[in-house]
Amino acid sequence: MFSKIAVLATALLALPLTISPAAAEGASQAVSLPLATAVDSLASGVESRDGYKRTSFKHWVDADRDSCSTRAEVLIAESRTEPTVEAGCKVTSGEWFSYYDGVTLTAPGGLDIDHMVPLAEAWDSGASAWPAKHREEYANDLDAERSLVAVTARTNRSKADQDPADWLPPLADARCTYAADWVATKLRWELTVDDREREALNGIAEGCGMQTVEYEPAS
C-alpha cells in the first residue's frame, strides 16, 4: 500500500501546475498597503474642471441587464437585513448603516449613493481624458466594494464634490476608513491628487495606526 501511495504522489508531483489566466490575473492584481504608503503611491497632478458636465458620466445604468440600476444594486448589497424589492427592482425597505455619520436607516428614500471620489473630482484628476465608456464604468463601479457607498442624503450633499482637504465625514471614527476608501478608489482608477489633497491625506494617515488600503486596478 505504501509503495502505491508513493508512486501516485510521485506521478502527481510530475504533473505541470496549471492556473487559469483569470485566476492568475486576479491573484496578482490585488494590492494591500499601509495608508501612509498608499498615499505616497498616488501620482500628483494639477486639477482642472474645464469642460466638466455631470452628464459626461453616464450613471445608475443597468449594466448586467437584470432590471436593477446601479443605485438599486448598491442598496441591495449594503442592506444589513433582507431588503424588500418590488417589481422593476424597486427597493422599498431594508436596513442601512451610513458610516459617514453613524446613522441607521430603514427607508431608502433617505439615502444617496455616494461616489467615493465624486464625479467632478474624478474629472479634475484624470477622467477628463478618458473615453465615455470608461467614465461610465467608473460611475457604475460595482466591482470594488467602496467605490460606491449608501449614506445619508444630508452627508452626501454636504460633501458634494469636495476632496478630503475640504470635507471629511462628521463622525470622527469614520475618517480613517474614509481616507483609505478614497485612496483605494484613486489608485484603482489611476487618478491623481493635488498638493492640498495629499497634505490632508497624509495628516489623516498619521493618526490612523495600522489602517490599510486594499484595491484592485480597474480593468
**Phi and psi, residue 28, nearest 5°:** -80, -20
Q: What is the pLDDT of residue 219?
A: 75
* Contacting residues for 93 by C-beta, under 8 A, at least 6 apart: 83, 84, 106, 107, 108
Q: What is the pLDDT of residue 45?
A: 97
- Please say whether the beta carbons of 83 and 100 come within 8 A: no
pTM: 0.86
Match 467608473 to its residue by C-alpha cell.
138
Q: What is the pLDDT of residue 3?
A: 37
With the CA atoms of 163, 170, 32 and 39 taken in that order, what torsion angle do they form, in degrees rounded to the nearest 10?
40
Q: What is the pLDDT of residue 15?
A: 33
Q: Which residues on neighbouring strands pair with residue 85, listed in sequence order?
A: 91
Which residue stretches of 35-174 are H helix? 35-41, 70-78, 119-124, 132-139, 153-159
Q: Residue 30's CB: how many other CB atoms inside 10 A?
A: 10
Q: Which of 103, 97, 102, 121 is nearest to 182 (CA)?
A: 121
Q: Which residues on neighbouring strands pair with residue 114, listed in sequence order?
A: 149
Q: Which residues on neighbouring strands pair with residue 187, listed in sequence order?
A: none
Sort strands 96-98 and 103-105 into parallel, antiparallel or unpaired: antiparallel
* Rounded Cα–Cα distance for residues 142 and 131 (Å): 19
Cell numbers linked to 30: 490585488
Mean pLDDT by 10 residues, the chain (219 residues): 35 34 51 98 96 96 94 98 97 98 98 98 98 98 96 98 98 98 98 98 97 94
Q: Residue 1's CB: how many other CB atoms inside 10 A?
A: 5
* Rounded Cα–Cα distance for residues 11 and 149 (Å): 50
* Rounded Cα–Cα distance for residues 170 and 70 (Å): 26
Q: Which of 144, 167, 181 is nearest to 39 (CA)?
A: 181
* Rounded Cα–Cα distance for residues 100 and 74 (Å): 16
**Phi and psi, residue 101, nearest 5°:** -130, 5
